[in-house]
Amino acid sequence: MNQKNATFKKTIIMSLLLNRNKFGDVANTGKTLSKEEANLLLKEWVLNDKLRLHMLQVSHLMKCWAAEKEGLGEEGQWRWEMAGLLHDADWDQWPGEHCKKIIEELERRNVDPEIIHAIASHGPNHFGVEPETRMDKMLYAFDELSGLIHAYSLMRPNGYEGMELKGVKKRLKEKSFAANVSREEIADACSLAVVELETLIPFIIEHQTGVSLTELQ
Ligand SMILES: [Fe+2]
């Protein structure tokens, strides 16, 4: 990113505070979009393949974590997956309204307030909303780390194959690698979620490897 873009982005980020802590309507608890509706929204709003893939990766991680670590059934898994799938839906076309626009859309569609809160709190430093639930905290934890691990896979000859915890930790220490990934946010998220990097990194390597854009077709 050149200096002009960096300044532009900084200006955008500074204006992303949501200035509220209540999202959605409790009367809509349990209401979700269908998978088809969520995929359609993603395809309509996110035109950039890299960002689409990121959202699919994070949504898959959320679903697998909900199933394997939180012991949630299909309904609960979908709530987590949907939060992951749509968390950056407005970033591609409306970066200056990032988070605000998707939140308002999901409120308009009467979506469960917990899903909307998870999206609203996935970047507490940017949006000013603290992660509270397990879903909130894990979305925050997966977001940046998933991106760094994907960037690492792209520079390895065999992608995810044979990727190890120590290699990822080494990349984390290299500030110049995937420099836009905030190490501070990763550390903050792990601490909030009470999850060690030693658990999170192998989980991401294992589950992110097979995710591809074909899932949206
Ligand atoms: Fe993201």
Buried b / exposed e across 22-58, counting CB within 10 Å, b at 16+? ebbeeebeeebbeeeebbebbeebbeeeebbbbbbbb
pLDDT-wise least confident of 82-86, 124-128, 131-135, 143-147: 124-128
- For residue 87, report the distance from its CA to the centre of ligand 1, in Å: 6
Report the pLDDT value the prediction gives residue 15, as an integer from 0 to 100: 74
- For residue 185, report the distance from its CA to the centre of ligand 1, in Å: 12
- For residue 81, report the distance from its CA to the centre of ligand 1, in Å: 13
- For residue 44, report the distance from its CA to the centre of ligand 1, in Å: 17
- For residue 55, report the distance from its CA to the centre of ligand 1, in Å: 7
- For residue 144, report the distance from its CA to the centre of ligand 1, in Å: 7
- For residue 210, report the distance from its CA to the centre of ligand 1, in Å: 18
Report the pLDDT value the prediction gives residue 6, as an integer from 0 to 100: 44
- For residue 123, report the distance from its CA to the centre of ligand 1, in Å: 9
Report the pLDDT value the prediction gives residue 216, as an integer from 0 to 100: 80
- For residue 125, report the distance from its CA to the centre of ligand 1, in Å: 14
- 154, 187 contact by CB (below 8 A): no
- For residue 108, report the distance from its CA to the centre of ligand 1, in Å: 22
Residues 6 or more apart in contact with residue 81 via CB below 8 angstroms: 59, 60, 62, 63, 66
Instruction: Report in angstroms the alpha-carbon separations of 31 from 62, 138, 216.
Output: 18, 21, 22
Query: What is the band of 215 on the pLDDT scale with cuts at 50, 70, 90?
Result: confident
- For residue 31, report the distance from its CA to the centre of ligand 1, in Å: 23
- For residue 190, report the distance from its CA to the centre of ligand 1, in Å: 16
Report the pLDDT value the prediction gives residue 9, as an integer from 0 to 100: 47
- For residue 73, report the distance from its CA to the centre of ligand 1, in Å: 24
- 24-55: pLDDT as tens digits: 999 999 999 999 999 999 999 999 999 999 99
Cα 53 to Cα 59: distance, rounded to the nearest angstrom: 10
